[in-house]
Amino acid sequence: MPEKDNEAQINMEFISSHDAKSKSISDKRPLINVKKFNRRWLPTKTTPVFDTYWEFAAKRQAIFFNRLLRNDEPLTDDPILRIYKFTNAYRASDRVSQYLIRNVIYKGEQSHKEVFFRIILFKTFNKIETWQLLKDKIREITFKDYDFVKYDRILSEALENQRSIYSAAYIMPSGSRSFGYTNKHRNHLKLFEKMMRDNLPEQICEAKSMQQVFELLRQYPMIGDFLAYQYTIDINYSELTNFSEMSFVVPGPGAKDGIRKCFSDYGGLSEIDLIKCMADRQDQEFSRLGIQFQRLWGRPLQLIDCQNLFCEVDKYARIKHPEFKGLTGRTRIKQKFRINPTPINYWYPPKWGINNLVKK
């Protein structure tokens, strides 16, 4: 069956059978007084996608725990979640973030320079296979032994062998205007060198806020608002900084699309304000809808997680709520869900204080 027809069939399932027969979370919500609810969110105006945001968060988190407990398939009765790929409700639970935390940040020399170098190198390519390739060739990845020619040769050979070295998750600018190379990875290597010459790791360690870290990163070529914020969060998983994830947020393009679908009128609030409201009111909204949301071992959704959820709900709504359009006008979900048989031994930044609970 063509993919477009398949999507249409999925959409019809929600209308004709799934919502009527499923025992999903969305079926548990009580009848509500819409006028009373709207008053709580004045001066904004919400759409039906707003409730879907909370239902999606709970369903996706339920999948996480079902997989963790190795429950039998299917992990969900939601047909969209069974067919398409979506990130976890908590960013730190995603496979790439988990690999970063356990195998990149906290494995190796813990000096500020070396930890920063490993983070920025890994996250620029954002691909586990690229990190493993470099490890196989270089053995120990350190800035102390960094050599442009060596790294360039390894990455260039991979490209010549038709291997992808960048993740498709982020759109990475080429940087040719900044450093003069036609190959993107060479420009990134030169960017790393400039950061280290500028003593950026120490500047980040001396920063007084998450926003200041963001601004330090944002001043570099090839790094826009979205990447600067993502890198800021990644660095904050380490011991280089220790800021609350509730202290700062920057909405990415996908999150902006999701916000537009959830709110028909922002009521004069900014997208940042709306993300903060979602984080602040999460308990009330789950309660209003009768949803039993299972936190990450007691840790509530943070601003970064609420921002990411807007991005994921933008995609989810393309199938469940096709009548609501985002800023980009995208109507299809590109990535299909495929089971990765490699298990994840979940481990979070020690400063969060939840790893002893994970083991239980």
Q: Are residues 48 and 134 in the same domain?
A: no
* pLDDT band for position 327 (cuts 50, 70, 90): confident
Q: Are residues 14 and 85 in the same domain?
A: yes
Q: Are residues 269 and 323 in the same domain?
A: yes
CA–CA separation, 316 and 49 (whole Å)? 10
* Beta-carbon-side half-sphere exposure of residue 297 (alpha carbons within 13 Å): 15
Q: Are residues 256 and 352 in the same domain?
A: yes
Instruction: Report if residue 225 sits inside a domain.
Output: no
DSSP, res 290:
T
Q: Say if residue 244's pLDDT is above 80.
A: yes
Q: Given its phi and psi angles, is residue 346 left (phi above 0), alpha (psi -120 to 50 degrees) or beta?
A: beta
Percentage, residues of the chain above pLDDT 90 = 77
Out of 202, 222, 242, pick the residue that ends a domain: 202
Out of 162, 185, 202, pick the residue that ends a domain: 202
Q: Given its phi and psi angles, is residue 47 left (phi above 0), alpha (psi -120 to 50 degrees) or beta?
A: beta
Q: Are residues 86 and 112 in the same domain?
A: no
Q: Look over the chain and give the mean of its residue pLDDT values, rounded to a whole number.
A: 89
Q: Are residues 59 and 116 in the same domain?
A: no
CA–CA separation, 229 and 308 (whole Å)? 12
Out of 166, 186, 202, pick the residue that ends a domain: 202
DSSP, res 100:
I
pLDDT tens, residue by residue, 6-22:
444 444 344 334 443 33
Q: Are residues 259 and 354 in the same domain?
A: yes
> pTM to 2 decimals?
0.88
Q: Are residues 351 and 277 in the same domain?
A: yes
pLDDT of residue 9: 45
Instruction: Report if residue 227 sits inside a domain.
Output: no
Domain extent for 54: 3-90+251-359
The closest of 98, 99, 118, 123 to 108, measured between CA atoms, is: 118
CA–CA separation, 140 and 131 (whole Å)? 11
Instruction: Report if residue 44 sits inside a domain.
Output: yes
Q: Give me the residue label for tokens 């969110």.
A: 41
Sign of CA dihedral 207, 208, 209, 211: negative
Q: Are residues 157 and 184 in the same domain?
A: yes
Q: Identity (one letter) of the amino acid at 268? A: G
Q: Are residues 131 and 192 in the same domain?
A: yes
Token couple for 187: 């420009």
pLDDT tens, residue by residue, 115-152:
999 999 999 999 999 999 999 999 899 999 999 999 99
Q: Are residues 258 and 350 in the same domain?
A: yes
pLDDT tens, residue by residue, 159-186:
999 999 999 877 787 777 889 899 999 9
Q: Are residues 73 and 130 in the same domain?
A: no
pLDDT of residue 84: 96
Lowest-pLDDT choice from 4-13, 229-238, 243-252, 267-276 = 4-13
* pLDDT band for position 39 (cuts 50, 70, 90): low
Total of domains in the chain: 2
